Amino acid sequence: MKILIVGGNGTIGSKVSSHLSKKHELIIATRNSGDVNLDMADKPSIKAAFEKIGTVDAVVCTAGDAKWANFNELTEDDFYIGIKSKLMGQVNLVRIGKDYMNPGGSFTLSTGILADHPVRMTTSAAMVNGAIHSFVKAVALELENNIRINVVSSGLVEDAVAHYGAYFPGHNPIPMGKVVNGFVKSVEGAGTGEIIRMYDNG
Ligand SMILES: NC(=O)c1ccc[n+]([C@@H]2O[C@H](COP(=O)([O-])OP(=O)(O)OC[C@H]3O[C@@H](n4cnc5c(N)ncnc54)[C@H](OP(=O)(O)O)[C@@H]3O)[C@@H](O)[C@H]2O)c1
């Protein structure tokens, strides 16, 4: 398969890329590195990237920002960071990418445990994750040409514990191989409209 992976050089993306590249042709897209550059918060850059790449068999997104801060400190503009990047960035990857997706292809988006089990400082990030889950379930009913869509929702991953562990008291870090398997299940499996939860605690 020819697979575009947005965010394919990040903490999760690099592990997903190195696994998928054993069997598939991968194109990595980020803002600053990779084979092609795009900013998922900037619609024209998504369109320009697809024009360069052409048709694909799968799009995987392991990118998307949201602002973490106490609810009392978050401004409306702070909420729009997550809405424009992680939420509408991924929605626009689907809106634009469906026209470059081969029949039977798939989209795999990323969210996280915060949708179900938020921690302090995540009103914006948790909200955006929940919205993406609802988007995936709804758009799966309407995508044409047997195009599938799923979302991988992981807990805090092992490789991010040094940075974010303190925000997740009592959480069991998720092994990178388990997270990678969520993406493999979505890309190589047959399911659609699924929230692939990669955690068993909250
Ligand atoms: N880390 C965790 O424990 C964890 C757990 C569950 C869910 N998640 C979610 O999974 C996603 C990836 O997390 P991560 O920890 O792997 O992040 P990361 O290490 O910060 O990597 C993010 C990757 O995405 C690219 N990127 C960031 N913003 C972008 C944009 N606007 N347009 C295009 N590419 C962009 C980055 O490259 P450039 O900077 O060059 O663009 C980088 O390659 C995030 O949405 C995160 O919320 C993370």
CATH number, domain containing residue 143: 3.40.50.720
- Note the pLDDT of residue 201: 57
pLDDT(131) > 60: yes
153 lines ligand 1 (CB under 6 A): no
Report the domain count for the chain. Answer: 1
**Is the CB of 37 inside a 6 Å radius of any atom of ligand 1?**
no
Question: Whose C-alpha lies nearest to ligand 1, atom 3?
Answer: 156
pLDDT digits (tens, 9 = 90+) for 13-35: 999 999 999 999 999 999 999 99
SS3 of the chain: the string is CEEEEECCCCHHHHHHHHHHCCCCEEEEEECCCECEECCCCCHHHHHHHHHHHCCEEEEEECCCCCCCCCHHHCCHHHHHHHHHHHHHHHHHHHHHHHHHEEEEEEEEEECCHHHCCCCCCCHHHHHHHHHHHHHHHHHCCCCCCCCEEEEEEECCEHHHHHHHHHHCCCCCCECHHHHHHHHHHHHHCCCCCEEEEECCCC
Q: What is the pLDDT of residues 37-86, one digit of tens each?
A: 999 999 999 999 999 999 999 999 999 999 999 999 999 999 999 999 99
> For the whole prediction, is pTM greater than 0.75?
yes
**Structural domain harbouring 79:** 2-198
Which pLDDT tens digit goes with each residue over 86-98? Answer: 999 999 999 999 9
